A = this chain, B = another copy of it.
Amino acid sequence: MTTGAGTTAEQSAEQRVLERIERARLRKAKVKEERVTLAHGAGGKATQTLIEAVFLDAFRNPHLDDMADGATLTLNGTRTVFTTDTFVVSPLFFPGGDIGHLAVNGTVNDLAVCGARPMYLSAGFILEEGFPVADLRRVVESMATAAAAAGVTVVTGDTKVVQRGKADGCYINTAGIGVLERDLTLTASAARPGDAVLVSGPIGDHGVTIMLARGELDIEADLASDTAPLHEPVAALLDAVPGGVRVLRDATRGGVATVLNEVAQTARLGIVLDEAAVPVKPVVNGACELLGIDPLYVACEGRFVAVVDGEHAETALAALRGHPSGEGAAIAGRVADEPPGAVLLKTSFGGTRIVDMLVGDPLPRIC
């Protein structure tokens, strides 16, 4: 999380971002490809390089932190979180949700994991000429339902139409504003050895649901997207262990593995995951085996990762499990001194392996 001004924590956060930009400059973060690839949008290593080499370099300011889900700003003394996300999921409709649900919950969740109370959303549509008006209506009504459920209001919008073949039905951008009502600074660099790593529920349901909905796997499964607003389980957690929550991140593109790598890199600490403790549904595991991918890289749209003071791990877990969206929560690992900047997985067979950031894009357009 980046911060605007004021406390020492905020100043050091600014300092950290500037250092990060400087490091990227010094090591000359460079996009090697001459053309944009799907991997640049996958949320993993290529995305990180693109952001450092192109966006951070140009927009060079202490608010912009590629690691954060939103920017924390001070507006006339009101601590506000501002965030944006674009949705290009294909197909638009899938078991458990649709692009409209994702567009609302995705931005609500970016605000929630910054510790903010989500309040207002904008909605920007790009429609392809020929898109059925009935589908648009369905998407918009779904957004309205999701917004009501999350307690946010869509207050401003925009619609553009492009010619046939210049989009894929419907893309939606939402930006969101939330208010920081708690006196807390959630940041990856606050992680400490001995902290517990919690996952708020079984991972990968969303990504696998999308793959199944595309018919790319010749299996049938009783599975639905996990798309859900997370502000309530987040609030339950923050209430249960005041001052004990160090980092919150929603595990979307790149999955839990990528989020934890970002935390490990920023904190310059290790994260040790216990494979047996990471909650994954058997059907998700099965589909991932067929796809040849690790569920740790599969996107969720209603799950988050929390790094919590180890002493309060059980209290935190109980708080999460007390909420319907967190009933499958688990303590999946811990923060350690070693290996610095990396994520280590203790496998169910007793071995260990390094879990890197996502490379390539095995599951394009899942959000």
A219 contacts partner chain B, Cβ-Cβ < 8 Å? no
From B51, B54, B82, B173, give the contact of A86 (CB < 8 A).
B173
Q: Are A160 and B88 in contact (CB under 8 A)?
A: yes
A127 contacts partner chain B, Cβ-Cβ < 8 Å? yes
A34 contacts partner chain B, Cβ-Cβ < 8 Å? yes
**A29 smallest CB distance to B (angstroms):** 13
A167 contacts partner chain B, Cβ-Cβ < 8 Å? yes
* B-chain residues with CB within 8 Å of residue A73 when the two chains form the complex: 119-120, 155, 177
* B-chain residues with CB within 8 Å of residue A35 when the two chains form the complex: 129-133
In chain A between 154 and 168, which residues have their CB closer than 8 angstroms to a CB of chain B? 154-163, 165-168
* B-chain residues with CB within 8 Å of residue A77 when the two chains form the complex: 76, 78
Does more than half of chain A's interface fall in helix, strand or loop, or is it mixed?
Answer: mixed
With contacts A84-B122, A140-B58, A144-B59 taken as known, whether A34 is within 8 angstroms of B71 at the C-beta atoms is no
Closest to A128 in B: B36
A20 contacts partner chain B, Cβ-Cβ < 8 Å? no
A residues contacting B by CB (< 8 A) are: 2, 31, 33-42, 47, 50-51, 54-55, 58-61, 63-64, 68, 70-71, 73, 75-78, 80, 82-88, 119-120, 122-134, 136-137, 140-141, 143-144, 147, 153-163, 165-168, 171, 173, 175, 177, 179, 361, 364-365
Enumerate 28 A-B pairs (CB-CB under 8 Å) in ascending A order: A2-B155, A34-B134, A38-B161, A54-B133, A59-B153, A59-B154, A61-B155, A63-B153, A64-B154, A64-B155, A70-B156, A71-B120, A75-B80, A75-B177, A76-B77, A76-B78, A76-B179, A82-B120, A82-B155, A84-B158, A85-B124, A86-B126, A86-B158, A88-B160, A162-B364, A163-B364, A165-B165, A167-B167
